[in-house]
Every structure is written in C-alpha cells, then in structure tokens.
C-alpha cells in the first residue's frame, strides 16, 4: 500500500478493480481546507482517460507492471504473435491492446506491458517513430511546395498516412506511431 505522496507520472494504481496509469498529477494546497492530489488516469484496459481527486494521505493500491521487450512475428485470425527477446517464449495479443497495429512490420521491436502478478499482457507499445517506405502516393506537382498541404500516401504495411506534397513513391519516411503523422524524410 502506498499513499498520495507516492503518486508520480507513470505509476500504475488499482482503482475500482481496474488498472490505471497516472498521466499527470498536481498536489493542491488550498488556503482553506485540507490538501488534495488531482490526477489524470488512463485505463490500461480500455484506454479511457479520467480525472480523479484523492485527499492528501489517502491510501492507494499500486500495481506492479513490467515492461518487456518483444519482437513482432506475424498476425492471424487469433491475434498478433510476439516473441520475448530474452526467453524466446511466444505471446498472442488481441489487436485492441496495440496502439498502432497497422504500422508494425515483421521483426519490429516493441514493448509489452505485463501485470506482474497475473502475467497478463496489458498494452503493446511501438517505438515512438518507425521508418516506412511509401508504396503509393499521387505524384507531386513541381513548384507546389510553398504551401503546407498534405496528401494521402500508402506505406509498406498498408496503412494510410498524410504526407507533404513533395514525397514520392519509393521514398522512406519517419512516422510518429502515437499520432500517426509524418515526421520527416529518412536520409539513406
């Protein structure tokens, strides 16, 4: 058991029989009345974000979460299959636990969060940026680079990403997996 003084960004707590990760917190000491801690919590099962306020000194139940490196192997009708890089054990994860499944390539390194007590996978996180090759996009018009307009492009995994007009077929780009946005062109 811990109390509100142990709350930090990234800590996982158990609340109403569900696991939440603290996204942000603020310790508030009003001029009148007792102090309290205002938090934003993200559910590790549904992904929803909620705000919760705890009185100062309130006991909270922390959960032990482990981040383990895995390698993406393949997917089929049962889910996505990953291999642990240290023990070589395979784990099957449903698509709803992965933050950007259509941006994963075979052999991609990912981190899977496990609930340490029950050994159940909670989420699968891709690296913040992945390199992708453009397989199809409309050709850009010469001299049309002054504006900040974007066009649709299909990458090697089949995902659709919005890219600037000057990007052409066969080029490699860096994609932000959290926002699914174009970041920059990859120099080869």
Domains of the chain, by residue range, sit at 2-62, 67-115, 129-185
Distance CA 28, CA 9 (A): 16
pLDDT mean over 7-24: 88
pLDDT class of 71 with cuts at 50, 70, 90 = very high
pLDDT mean over 116-143: 85
Name which of 141, 128, 144 is nearest 183 in CA terms.
128
Name which of 72, 71, 70, 33 is nearest 53 in CA terms.
33
Q: How many other C-beta atoms lie within 10 A of the C-beta of residue 130?
A: 20
Give pLDDT, residue 146: 61
Evaluated on CA atoms 161, 165, 166, 170, the torsion sign reads positive
Q: Which of 101-105, 110-114, 148-152, 172-176 has the lowest mean pLDDT?
A: 148-152
Name which of 44, 97, 46 is nearest 72 in CA terms.
97
As a whole number, the mean pLDDT across the chain is: 88
3.20.20.30, 3.90.420.10, 2.40.50.140, 3.40.50.10490: CATH of 67-115:
2.40.50.140
Is 113's pLDDT higher than 80? yes
Give pLDDT, residue 143: 62
**Contact between residue 69 and residue 86 where contact means Cβ atoms under 8 Å apart:** yes
Give pLDDT, residue 44: 81
Is 142's pLDDT higher than 80? no
The architecture that CATH gives domain 2-62 is Roll (2.30)
DSSP string, 132-156: EEEEEEPPPPTT--SS--EEEEEET
Q: What is the pTM of this model?
A: 0.75
Give pLDDT, residue 173: 93
3.30.1380.10, 2.60.40.1930, 3.55.10.10, 2.40.50.140: CATH of 129-185:
2.40.50.140
User: Is-same-fold flag (67-115; 129-185)?
Assistant: yes
User: Percent of the chain beyond pLDDT 90?
Assistant: 37
Encode pLDDT of 153-172 as tens digits.
999 999 999 998 888 888 99
pLDDT mean over 139-145: 67
User: Percent of the chain beyond pLDDT 70?
Assistant: 96
Give pLDDT, residue 41: 92
């Amino acid at each position: 058991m811990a109390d509100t003084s142990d709350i930090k960004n990234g800590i996982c707590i158990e609340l109403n029989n569900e696991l939440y990760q603290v996204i942000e917190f603020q310790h508030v000491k009003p001029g009148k009345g007792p102090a309290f801690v205002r938090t934003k919590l993200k559910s590790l099962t549904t992904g929803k974000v909620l705000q919760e306020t705890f009185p100062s000194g309130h006991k909270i139940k922390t959960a032990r979460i482990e981040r383990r490196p895995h390698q993406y192997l393949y997917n089929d009708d049962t889910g996505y299959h990953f291999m642990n890089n240290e023990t070589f054990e395979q784990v099957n994860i449903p698509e709803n636990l992965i933050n950007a499944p259509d941006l994963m390539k075979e052999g991609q390194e990912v981190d899977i969060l496990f609930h340490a007590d029950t050994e159940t996978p909670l989420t699968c996180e891709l690296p913040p940026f992945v390199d992708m090759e453009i397989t199809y996009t409309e050709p850009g018009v010469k001299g049309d680079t002054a504006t900040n307009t974007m066009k649709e492009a299909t990458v090697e995994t089949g995902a659709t990403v919005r890219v600037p007009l000057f990007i052409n077929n066969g080029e490699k780009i860096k994609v932000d997996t959290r926002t699914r946005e174009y970041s920059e062109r990859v120099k080869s």
